[in-house]
Structure 1
């Protein structure tokens, strides 16, 4: 069998998102018979085709074969797929994987189908040889797979069952596209799962570093902010400290935002980052702090800042600093939105 693993880690590492992925079909393994005859074959046709027989197939027959495989993989009725797979031995599964992945466009169409995605996932991890075909196909059109609603689950499953070398190739591709994946509607969810399940400390930390280094732009992104939130919830102290360094001076602005305020609230849960946030709140000029306290999103940040500093008795200076800064505006905070903050202030008057 061709040695595809050798090329997995660094092949096309610098390809851009818009660059058209190659559609060169991986060669069929030597000595393996194809066990899936396409519809239209006569009873006299051989049930097992050698590689030389494959080369002799007409264009129409090849097209029919591809359509038949597509139908089996994507049909609502899973029975034909289950029956077929149950009868295939290791070598025949390898041939099936070759047929499924020989054309990138065809493979991507199946992976983007809800049923197709599930059935590809069931074929992953069957054997290293089978996984080699799928790894090559996934890497050829990686960005299109990782950012698709259903195809992304193929990549997630691959990251749990592939061997170390194939996983490393996947990690390299993820790092290459990390920011673009994080800013994608479906990609951000896939990236969060991959970070959570990462079993390689080196690549886990590399992903943390990418998120932390780009924390400000991701925090202001409609989907990237979910990745920042997720990483903060994993409570990696080094990563959290790196994130707060990047967000220093921007916490108030983020607190006014629908999603950004969640990130600031998460920063308030760790002592080191809490100090950074509260000190920034206290530096607000004029009545900006009271505007934040009355804001539909910002009020949650101010309320949490008061509660965590009140609880941490060794930093009472931060708590009383906020109280004294807010007290002159108590009458304005009694309105809806700031009522919880007003209650805290009343309790310490």
Structure 2
């Protein structure tokens, strides 16, 4: 208690200690040993003013994660609310995107719903971001109907564009891998209908999306995809990226 009083006495001092390479370990150990309501309140009062600095810091983000692991849902309310409020800023940060996923994992009820809703609402933007795409993929894996509906509504009509981008191509692959047959069918039909399909199979990113589509499609839709690929064989087979598709055993299924 005496240690807590000293390190929370000055505004933001607790934050500065948490950002320090050695200090962060002390603060994490301190959080693990909290026993009383007063101790928990002192820690929260020390962390809250510097939440964004902490969650985006190499050392500080571990302090937030330790709170998620050791404190109750109600005590972590300030983390869940801030995570929802600054969702896009956090999701597009190298360390923040990882902690945001932990927030979803540890939160329940309205707190979880709010974070998931904010990510879903900004899905098309986050899908194209180097770090934000991981948050979107995480939401897709959870298969929450309302979130999936929000995301796929934004993606519909944009799958070809998303497939040709480095980060969002992983999101399209995730959609194909984990979502239901109707959505899968929508994606594959958009790919097949692309004005320049040959560019997709020659693209460094979209060729992986087409390979995933080959793996997950069945019946007439799979046959349609194979036919479109075969129709572009003569102009695409020597491309370093489309070679992977033309050597695919699924083309011979």
TM-score, with structure 2 as normaliser: 0.90
Q: 1:295 aligns with which of 199, 203, 228?
A: 203
The whole-number CA distance in structure 2 between the counterparts of 1:105 and 1:255 is 44
Q: 1:162 aligns with which of 71, 75, 78?
A: 71
The answer as to 2:5 corresponding to 1:98 is: yes
Q: Which has the higher helix share?
A: 2
Gaps of 5+ in 1: 1-93, 311-315
SS of the equivalent of 1:149 reads coil
Partner of 1:254: 162
1:346/1:239 Cα in 2 relative to 1: closer, same or farther (>3 Å)? closer
Partner of 1:318: 221
The answer as to 2:234 corresponding to 1:331 is: yes
The answer as to 2:112 corresponding to 1:204 is: yes
Partner of 2:19: 112
Q: Could you tell me whether the CA contact under 8 Å between 2:129 and 2:167 is conserved in 1? A: no
Q: Could you tell me whether the CA contact under 8 Å between 2:200 and 2:206 is conserved in 1? A: yes
Gaps of 5+ in 2: none
Alignment length (residue pairs): 247
Q: Could you tell me whether the CA contact under 8 Å between 2:137 and 2:171 is conserved in 1? A: yes
Q: 1:278 aligns with which of 181, 188, 198?
A: 188
The whole-number CA distance in structure 2 between the counterparts of 1:120 and 1:298 is 45
The whole-number CA distance in structure 1 between the counterparts of 2:23 and 2:182 is 47
Alignment of 1:1-349 (within 5 A): 94-125=1-32, 126-127=34-35, 128-198=37-107, 200-269=108-177, 270=179, 271-285=181-195, 288-310=196-218, 316-335=219-238, 336-344=240-248, 347=252
CA RMSD of aligned residues (A): 1.8
SS of the equivalent of 1:104 reads coil
| Pair member with larger Rg | 1
